[in-house]
Amino acid sequence: METLLIALGSGILFIVAYNTYGKYLARKIFKLDVNANVPSKDLRDDKDFVPTKKFVVFGHHFTSIAGTGPIVGPAIAVIWGWVPALLWVIFGSILIGAVHDFGALVVSMRNKGQTVGEVAGRVLNPRIRFLFLFVLFMALTIVLAIFGLVIAIVFQLYPTSIFPCLVQIPLAILIGVWLHRKGVNLLIPSILALGIMYITVAFGDVGFLHSFNSSLAKWPLAAWVAVLLGYSYVASVLPVWMLLQPRDFINSLQLVTALGLVVLGLFFAAFFGGAPIEGSELRPDLEIAAPAFQFGVLGAPLLFPFLFITIACGAISGFHCLVSSGTSSKQLENEKDAQFIGYGSMLTEGFLAVLVILACVAGIGLGIPDGEGAYLFGESAWASRYSSWQAAGGLGAKIGAFVDGSANFLKAMGIAPGFAVALMGVLVASFAATTLDTACRLQRYVVQELASTFVSNREKGLSANPFSLLTDKHGATIFAVVTAFCLAAIPLPGSELSWANVGKGGLILWPLFGATNQLLGGLAFLVIAFWMWRRRLPVWFIVLPTIFMLIMPAWAMTHQLFIQGIGKDTGWLFAETKNWPLISIALATLALEVWMVVEAFLAWPKAKGVLEESLVGEALSD
């Protein structure tokens, strides 16, 4: 019953927060105006800038920010105990994460849909713009390199998810083209597509499809990474209405229904127990099998600051500012929709993270196979997955903990085990894919903005200046995809160059991603704070989150470099086998953060009430 009360209590708390603090920010701080001009209408091109209904934008925004982040992070962080993880998710998402996403969305909308990096150059100074965009480029390169690997691992672990995931793409394109030509509502076609998707989950591994899935699951990682990056290129250059919007809306319906099933399964498990134990009618009780607090875990880093970079999506994630300012701000047809999209999506992701925590600390206890034909229950089941940092830290282990735990909730109400596991596997792979193609589109914007620094307006598109090729959407996207594949193709330190190892290169920089991602959140807060400070708007609510999100990732990165790398006894600088790409980028990132913070500190006293040059003449209340 405790598990069910936590789920219901957190859901109620998120609803209350949306209707109190969220509304306060919308009305009193950002002063959203239904009649305000928006980029989607002022700059409409029906490719990137497209006025869109708020529920469709919500589908795109939510599925893009969710991905596997709110699954992977909480699934490992519970090793420190479920209470710290739960508290950070709930209060982090309400007071920090949702404010960050909401603020980035509003600032971008009021700056013609520019990304946070572009806005930084105007509200701080041009140097900050270049430094910020460079940090964004590195972070997105890691995302593109690693998420192809994530999807490939999910396909290898759960081959039954392959066909349903592949079917989503032509379905989304058909719906997108049909709706664009007919101009009808997206809801009914998307519900039909959702029904087709569930049919493919139920029957997508029957007969020849089983052989199809099994053969694709055996593909080398390098092949999957190449195919998925190629798909990302296509998805990035197509108009948003053709693939991005319908695919993400379908996926959002899929996630909402899956969340509903998980919550319903929680009710059944709380009142009736889990699925009957094989060979008997006994049903295991639903109980939290993990400790509330657990310190000194073998191989685990310190709770402070690593909890706050391990759980990113689900509490706050710097990646979200890229989605808010990169794609969503170009689609909102009404400024007042920003609360629903920015603040509401983050709270929904927070609720997803709560369910992930409960699946990992209670769902697993309902029974998992021990690999020898028997089943483990309760504390024994949890300990088998979380005996040490190394045991819990593998990518497959984290995904598996959520899939098995949440599938146990579904099995508690009589859903067939094969369907339950396949449904959760499709869920993980689908959201990793939406993050991948959105990240590619965002990286295209970042590359174009960086290239424009070295190209005058009359040189754009001319071959005389090599950077001019990167101002074109195809050139920028190809550069983004090729760069990510080159990183993915590098074998891990100490590994030989072989088909078995090619594709894992994203793991070289992955230990750095958590801190870099959270640093982006701190820097985005800095940009939002400056934008508001120049307009004499209140900044009290953003000062502490800004300081917190600048200190925590810097502290974590410094600790990893000099004291203890994640899961390592020594810091990266003192390891016997040094990962120089990782070390170099970590040191450069720390230096860039210090540089940007110093620049901001010097500019802050002179910025109050002084509008940036390009907006002189605009009312201070805007």
Structure confidence by residue, pLDDT tens digits, 16-53: 999 999 999 999 999 999 999 999 999 999 889 999 98
- pLDDT category of residue 283 using cuts at 50, 70 and 90: very high
Q: Quick one: DSSP state of residue 277?
A: P
What distance in Å separates the CA atoms of residue 438 and residue 245, rounded to the nearest whole number?
11
Q: What is the pLDDT of residue 154?
A: 84
Residue by residue, DSSP assigns 61-128 as HHHHHHTTHHHHHHHHHGGG-HHHHHHHHHHHIIIIIHHHHHHHHHHHHTTTT--HHHHHHHHT-HHH
Q: Which residue do the tokens 């970590």 mark?
A: 586
User: Residue 617 phi/psi, 5° resolution?
Assistant: 100, -10
What distance in Å separates the CA atoms of residue 366 and residue 287, rounded to the nearest whole number?
8
- pLDDT category of residue 339 using cuts at 50, 70 and 90: very high
Q: What is the pLDDT of residue 41?
A: 95
pTM for this prediction: 0.91
The predicted-structure confidence for 315-332, as pLDDT tens digits, reads as follows 999 999 999 998 999 999
- pLDDT category of residue 186 using cuts at 50, 70 and 90: low
**Does residue 622 register a pLDDT over 50?**
no
Its domain, for residue 246, covers 33-615
**E strand or H helix at 531:** helix 506-533
Min mean pLDDT across 416-420, 489-493, 549-553, 583-587 is at 489-493
Q: Average pLDDT of the chain?
A: 88
What distance in Å separates the CA atoms of residue 88 and residue 311, rounded to the nearest whole number?
8
52 - beta bridge partners? Answer: 332
The predicted-structure confidence for 65-85, as pLDDT tens digits, reads as follows 887 778 888 999 999 999 999
Average the pLDDT over 599-614 and give the result: 87
Average the pLDDT over 175-193 and give the result: 77
Residues 6+ apart with CB under 8 A from 423: 198, 201, 258, 261, 407, 410
Min mean pLDDT across 187-196, 378-387, 480-489, 513-522 is at 187-196
Q: Residues of the chain with pLDDT > 90: what percent?
A: 48
* Angle CA 475–481–482, to nearest 5: 85
In a domain, 46, yes or no: yes
Q: Looking at this protein, which amino acid is placed at residue 132?
A: F
Q: Take residue 523 and report the two structure tokens written for it.
A: 């820097």
Q: Residues of the chain with pLDDT > 70: what percent?
A: 95
Q: What is the pLDDT of residue 281?
A: 80
In a domain, 95, yes or no: yes
**E strand or H helix at 376:** strand 375-376
Q: Which residue has the higher pLDDT, 567 or 418?
A: 418
Q: Which residue do the tokens 């502290």 mark?
A: 555
What distance in Å separates the CA atoms of residue 441 and residue 323, rounded to the nearest whole number?
10
The three-class DSSP label of residue 450 is: helix
In a domain, 478, yes or no: yes
Average the pLDDT over 372-387 and give the result: 87
Q: Looking at this protein, which amino acid is placed at residue 569?
A: D
Please list, residue by residue across 69-102, b when 16 or more beta carbons sit within 10 angstroms of its beta carbon and e when fewer do: bbbbbbbbbbbbbbbbbbebbbebbbbbbbbbbb
Q: Which residue has the higher pLDDT, 317 or 614?
A: 317
Q: What is the pLDDT of residue 227?
A: 93
Task: Give residue 140's region: left, alpha or beta (phi > 0; psi -120 to 50).
Answer: alpha
**E strand or H helix at 428:** helix 417-452
- Give the torsion through C-alpha atoms of 581, 583, 586, 591, to 10 deg: -110
Q: Which residue has the higher pLDDT, 331 or 418?
A: 331
Q: What is the pLDDT of residue 253?
A: 83
CB atoms within 10 A of CB 174: 13
Q: Which residue do the tokens 């049919």 mark?
A: 199
Q: What is the pLDDT of residue 191?
A: 80
**Does residue 143 register a pLDDT over 70?**
yes
In a domain, 620, yes or no: no
**Does residue 249 register a pLDDT over 70?**
yes
**Does residue 157 register a pLDDT over 90?**
no
**For helices 54-66 and 319-326, what crossing angle results, to 10°?**
150
In a domain, 411, yes or no: yes
**Does residue 620 register a pLDDT over 60?**
no
In a domain, 55, yes or no: yes
369 - beta bridge partners? Answer: 375
Q: What is the pLDDT of residue 619?
A: 37
Between the alpha carbon of residue 169 and those of residues 67, 327, 457, the distances in Å are 17, 19, 37
Q: What is the pLDDT of residue 465?
A: 67
Q: Take residue 477 and report the two structure tokens written for it.
A: 């996207």
Q: What is the pLDDT of residue 184?
A: 65
In a domain, 24, yes or no: no
Q: What is the pLDDT of residue 616?
A: 45
Q: What is the pLDDT of residue 621?
A: 36
CATH number of the CATH domain containing 192: 1.20.1740.10
Q: Quick one: DSSP state of residue 276?
A: P
CA-based end-to-end distance of the chain: 49
- Please say whether the beta carbons of 313 and 319 come within 8 A: yes
- Please say whether the beta carbons of 38 and 355 come within 8 A: no
The predicted-structure confidence for 168-183, as pLDDT tens digits, reads as follows 899 888 888 887 777 6
Residues 6+ apart with CB under 8 A from 496: none
The predicted-structure confidence for 421-468, as pLDDT tens digits, reads as follows 888 888 888 878 888 888 898 899 889 888 888 776 555 555 566 778
- Please say whether the beta carbons of 474 and 237 come within 8 A: yes
Q: Which residue do the tokens 């290129």 mark?
A: 233
**Does residue 254 register a pLDDT over 90?**
no
Q: What is the pLDDT of residue 392?
A: 72
Q: What is the pLDDT of residue 565?
A: 80
368 - beta bridge partners? Answer: 376
Residue by residue, DSSP assigns 118-183 as HHHHHHT-HHHHHHHHHHHHHHHHHHHHHHHHHHHHHHHH-GGGHHHHHHHHHHHHHHHHHHHHH-
Average the pLDDT over 225-251 and give the result: 88
Number of domains in the chain: 1
In a domain, 4, yes or no: no
Sign of the dihedral defined by the CA atoms of residues 382, 387, 393, 394, in that order: negative
